[in-house]
Amino acid sequence: MQLQELQQEVDDWIKTYGVRYFNHLTNLGILMEEVGELSRIMVRTYGEQSSKPQDNTKNIADEMADILWVLTALANQCDVNLEEAMKKNIEKKTNRDKTRHQENQKLL
C-alpha cells in the first residue's frame, strides 16, 4: 500500500465508522499514548525491564500500526501529503548526512 492509499483508507474509515476526526490535540494526545505503549513493549522486550503478565497480550507490530494510524489521521487533518513529505525528508537527510554516518568512528 502506498502512503497516499493509506491516507485515503484512514480517511474513508474515519468518515464511515468513526463519525468524524477527533480534534488535532486529541489525536496528538492519542499519538503520544500509542508511542508510550510501543515504548513499554520495546523496553521490556529488548531492555532490562522485566515484563508484567498483561504485557504478554501486547504486540509490537500492532502498536506500530496504531502509531501509523494516528499519525496518518493527523496528516489528513493538517493537509500533509505523507508521500511528498517523506520524499522531501529523505532528500534532506541524504543531502545533510550522505557522508556523516559513514565517517562516524562510533559506528564503524
Residue 54's domain is classified under what CATH number? 1.10.287.1080
Whole domain around residue 63: which residue ranges?
3-79
Buried b / exposed e along 64-90 (16+ C-beta atoms within 10 A): eebbebbbbbbbbbeeeebeeeeeeee
Contacts (Cβ under 8 Å, ≥6 apart) of 49: 43
In a domain, 54, yes or no: yes
Mean pLDDT, the chain, rounded, equals 94
- As given in the structure block, the three cell numbers for residue 9 are 483508507
Model-level pTM greater than 0.85? yes
pLDDT for 10 beyond 90? yes
Residue 32 confidence class, pLDDT cut points 50, 70, 90: very high
pLDDT at 51: 83
Scan for cell 484512514, then name that residue.
Answer: 10
In a domain, 99, yes or no: no
In a domain, 45, yes or no: yes
pLDDT in tens, 37-85: 999 999 999 999 888 777 777 799 999 999 999 999 999 999 999 999 9
In a domain, 90, yes or no: no
